[in-house]
Amino acid sequence: MGIEDLEKNDRVISFKQNLAIQELVDELRDKNTDPIKFRKGLNKLGRYMGYELSKTFDYEVIDIETPVTHTKGVRISDKDNIVMINILRAAIPFIEGFYKVFPKARAGIISAWRGPAPESKITVEYVKVPKTTKNDIIMIGDPMLATGHTISRIIDEVKGRGDFKRIIVVAVISAPEGIKEILSKHKDVEVVTAVIDEKLNEKNYIVPGLGDAGDRCFGEPIKK
């Protein structure tokens, strides 16, 4: 399955055609973009992608009284049932953008990381997610969908804790490998990504990508 096939898959939405989103991603890619601008960019991307995503939500038609007359309008009912799962650390500013669009969203926080290649061992340490029901749209946010192994583990954790209406992985940059991993391991999960990049390199970084999203947001941590 090539990038074009993934873009056509009905469980994948990418925003290649949206120039505003594209431009923001390209600002993040630039190695000279500093952490302040990087975090602001992620926040804006969360907002723009949240607006785009709400086009796929269920809504009801309502009656409205304007000062002039009666008319019909919409209320996006799904907005009442959003659960945003924040994967530490780079998802923090990204998810913050989604909250601007879905202010009533309930919050979950998970810390998970992948050790260095070639072992790429996944550790999930902290899982705090709210109880979910069959009405809930659970969005799992991570700016970078690389191998998909960590997110796949997180999806298992989330599924083990309640029901759901939709589970959507929201990412800024995805590698084809990661999308394929999610689609094949979880037949009931969708992927929404600003862009789909070429591939992973030998260290499992996305190419061309933007480097380590956590470090770009918050600076490099001290290694113990």
Residues lying near ligand URA in the complex (CB under 6 A) are found at 144, 146, 205-206, 209, 212-214
If the CB atoms of residues 168 and 171 are measured against ligand URA, the closer one turns out to be: 171
Nearer to ligand URA, 39 or 79 (CB): 39
Residue 173 and residue 191: Cα distance in Å, rounded? 11
**Residue 111 Cβ, how far from ligand URA at the closest point, in Å?**
14
Q: Give the burial class of 124: count Cβ atoms within 10 A of its Cβ; 0-12 exposed, 13-18 middle, 19 or more buried.
A: middle
Nearer to ligand URA among residue 205 and residue 218 (C-beta): 205
Residue 174 CB, nearest approach to ligand URA (Å): 10
Query: Whats the size of the chain, residue-wise?
Result: 224
Smallest separation (angstroms) from ligand URA to the CB of 207: 8
Radius of gyration of the chain (CA): 18
Least distance in angstroms from the C-beta of 54 to ligand URA:
27
Rounded Cα distance between 12 and 94, Å, is: 19
Token pair, residue 152, equals: 């796949």
Task: Decide whether 89 or 185 has the Cβ nearer to ligand URA.
Answer: 89
Q: How many CA atoms lie within 13 A of 59 on its CB side?
A: 12
